[in-house]
A and B are shown apart, each in its own frame.
Chain A
Amino acid sequence: MVVAAIKNGIAILVLLVLQLELFSSLRFFGVMPELLLAAAIAAGWYGGPIGGAVVGFSSGLFYDLYLATPLGLNALTYAIVGYLLGQIATFLSDEAEWIIRITISVVAVTIGLLLFVTFGELIAEPNLYNRSFGKILVVASLYTGLLMVPIHYMMAWAFDATRLFSSGFDRRLR
């Protein structure tokens, strides 16, 4: 339990620093990937609904420190997305092909961004729903999808999931 928490902390810190220092510059069409949302999604996959929700909350909270939006907005969104992915993943085989995982992850990123903007609009946060929203949704989802494989590996390591098949992991929590 403690080891998993430390590993997840390291994974979140690495992804946060990459998001802030590397991918904020490496933009496609002015859009960057959502690595911390991806971490919540992958955590849901390997850690189940609880793991997804807790990692999503933590990663969102750390990301919130650097944003002008209220503290907790990303945490709320990522926790819900991590939880939902955890629920969905319980119905999927451990041997699910990568293409299935990536597709589900990309859809989850899109849902996460939609949720984030919806919650933001509900509390009257400015700038979230803007004329670039469609572009952000499409590019961020696809760009994050490109990076999902290493993030899946990272979160599989954090949750101590071992690789059983060429296509999948044994997600039983140890």
Chain B
Amino acid sequence: MAVPRRYSGSRFTLAILVLTSVTLISLDARGYAPVDNLKKAGIIIVQPFRSLTRIVFDPVGDAWESLTNGDELERENALLRTQLDELLDYRIANEGAVNDLAALRTQLDLQGLGGHDTVVAEVTAGSVSNFDPYVLEINKGTQSGIREGMPVISTGGLIGRIENPGLRDSRVRLVTDPTVNIGVLAIGTKEIGILTGNGVDQPMRVVDGIPISAAVEVGSILVTSGLDRSPYPEGFAVGSVVEVIPDEVNLEKELLVEPTGEMNNLDFVTVILYQPPGMD
């Protein structure tokens, strides 16, 4: 028969810890600077241990990924082969599109990365939480000129913005996060809407702003609008429309949009050292 042990003062200890936690939550939610500094100091202390173990565990993670995603890679390979065949068939028909794209770039005054300075950063980790899969960690921070809110791009376009930059590392909040909203412009039109993330492996959505008569169709490319108070510079590709759902009641189109920027298996990303006017 087990005899219950008594732990005197355990409720008092718990009460103190709960109070401390609630105080920290409250202070952090208000953006109290010392708490932020405490977080950064904690990260710096643990960083050497992480760097050491990364050398050992990175190959393990890569091996696991290739093991678990083997079927997916085969499917993707087959899909890509089919798409390549189709593209070869239609290449001649679409040659004119190259000229159109050049014209559109001129129209939108897109040149390279818009003339902004950039920093290339290595992706050091993906999400480390089950509940927030919309983040990446990179190995550059304020020491490299990175600031809160700066846009981050990868091959294909915008993938997110900087969040909570440290001295030598930063977090990237991905555009697929349902809390992220981006003002977008459909290329070739003057239609502007708000693009919202919709979760991992789900197409993003533009719910409002596109009239039903607008010439936005499947395949249309959406770029950042760069309008007043937008945290993003104009003209960066964000996604391509994969489905158009007409809303006959509100006379608008809902757009389902696949991100154009590569977000999986990233090794490097580029941070655009851009801050909207008034935030310098």
A residues adjacent to B (C-beta < 8 A): 13, 16-22, 24-27, 30-32, 34, 48-50, 53-54, 57, 60-62, 64-73, 75-76, 79-80, 83, 86-87, 90-94, 113, 116-117, 120, 123, 126-128, 130-132, 136, 140
Contact = CB atoms under 8 A, between A and B. Distances in A.
Interface residues of B, number: 58
A57 B54 contact: no
Contacts of B131: 69, 116-117, 120, 127-128, 130, 136
Contacts of A68: 129, 132, 135, 163-164, 171, 173
Contacts of B245: none
Interface string B128-144: 11111111000000000
Nearest to A53: B14
> Is chain B's interface secondary structure helix, strand, loop, or mixed overall?
helix
A94 B29 contact: no
Nearest to B65: A25
A34 B130 contact: yes
22 contacts: A21-B57, A21-B58, A24-B61, A24-B127, A25-B57, A25-B60, A25-B61, A26-B64, A48-B7, A49-B13, A50-B10, A65-B42, A68-B163, A68-B164, A71-B24, A71-B27, A75-B24, A79-B14, A80-B14, A87-B10, A90-B5, A116-B131
Contact of B4 (A21, A27, A90): A90
A80 B9 contact: no
Nearest to A93: B2
A57 B7 contact: no
A22 B28 CA distance: 28
Contacts of B28: 70-72
A116 B129 CA distance: 12
Given A17-B53, A65-B43, A72 B25 contact: yes
A49 B164 contact: no
A22 B60 contact: yes
Given A48-B5, A53-B10, A72-B22, A66 B128 contact: yes
Interface of B: 2, 4-7, 9-10, 13-14, 17-18, 20-25, 27-29, 35, 38-39, 42-43, 46, 49-50, 53-54, 57-58, 60-62, 64-65, 68, 125-135, 163-164, 171, 173, 177-179, 199-200
Contacts of B164: 68
A86 B135 CA distance: 34
Which of A17, A20, A71, A131 has the most CB atoms of chain B within a 10 A radius of its CB?
A71
Contacts of B35: 71
